[in-house]
Amino acid sequence: MNLNNIRKIIKKGVIVENEPMARHTTFRAGGPARYFISPANTSELAGLVRYLFNNGIEYYVIGNGSNMLVSDEGYDGVIIDLGSRDGTEFTLLGLDDSSDPVKFEAGAGSLMSNLGKLMLKFSVTGFEPLSGIPGCIGGALAMNAGAYGGEMKDIVTGASAVDPEGRQMHLSKEELDLSYRHSAVQDKRLIVTKVEFELHRGEAEKIKALMDEYTSKRREKQPLEFPSAGSTFKRPEGHFAGKLIEEAGLRGYCINGACVSDKHCGFIINKGGAKASDIYELICYVRDKVCENSGVMLEPEVRMLGRFD
């Protein structure tokens, strides 16, 4: 890859070489990315993706760095960072009038938690179950994230994206093909740039009460005090991953600093000093033990980046 060519595309954004991914993932583990690039706008993003695609250079897009694990050797490609993007493209629109339903759009790099705060500020309801998800809006749409009975597909009406050839496009809700932890964004390797929502006016007191209730449940049932990637495994049909892991006798089981949470067996946490290899080894161990005990093969929800063999 010719770095001079990249610099011709990324004029306002940031390019960093050999950036430790432990700084950018919620697991707080992982080696360096060969290049870590934060485009300043959609034009830079589209130009970068087009260049990488045309030259066969591997890349991966991140927001808040949740739901992923980078190997200790690092990632010999380009990490495209959308989580630190700023500017008018990422301004929330259409919230400060009195219309109902409330239609607005938000940039892909906006944190779900920040959007939740804005919903409360403008007394908009429907986002409460999703407000505590530890990630950015683009990633949440890509995997149709959900919590407490709510999913992105319930409130999303469309999205803007960039395809692998750098073409900008708009997708309707139908074209997004949202289902459990799936979307057309994954299938077509699209990069979400904006998400369009439709919600409704509500009462601030009720919205806050619901958010507080969900926050309390998370603190009570999830190991928020430790680095993790959220739920480690997808929910297998007819079962709950955490229950299967507990039934396999793995509550609190550790490999060095990587542990199955005592609070919620569906979470693998970094209790301190865990390497990516420790976390990966534990994921594989849990998967095999659960299959041995129940016959159910768990599928990791966490994306693996780099070499783990």
pTM of the model: 0.88
Class level of CATH domain 3-81: alpha beta
Task: Work out the angle between the directed axes of helices 204-221 and 112-121 (0-180°, nearest 10).
Answer: 150
Domain range summary for the chain, segments of one domain joined by + = 3-81, 88-221, 241-305
Per-residue pLDDT of 188-240, as tens digits, reads 999 999 999 999 999 999 999 999 999 999 999 999 999 999 899 999 999 99
Token output for 78: 């380009």
Does the domain at 241-305 match CATH 1.10.10.10? Answer given as no
Catalytically annotated residues? 181, 231, 301
- How many CB atoms are located within 10 Å of the residue 232 CB? 27
Residue the block writes with tokens 């300043």: 40
Per-residue pLDDT of 128-157, as tens digits, reads 999 988 888 999 999 999 999 999 999 999
Supply the DSSP string of 85-147, one letter for each residue: --SGGG---S-SS--SSEEEEEETTSBHHHHHHHHHHTTEES-GGGTT-SSBHHHHHHTT-EE
Per-residue pLDDT of 263-291, as tens digits, reads 999 999 999 999 999 999 999 999 999 99
Arch. (CATH architecture) of 88-221: 2-Layer Sandwich (3.30)
Per-residue pLDDT of 11-32, as tens digits, reads 999 999 999 999 999 999 999 9
Beta-strand pair 75-81/59-62: parallel
Amino acid in position 136: C
Q: Are 122 and 96 in contact (CB under 8 A)?
A: yes
8-state DSSP, 77: E
3-81 and 241-305: same fold? no
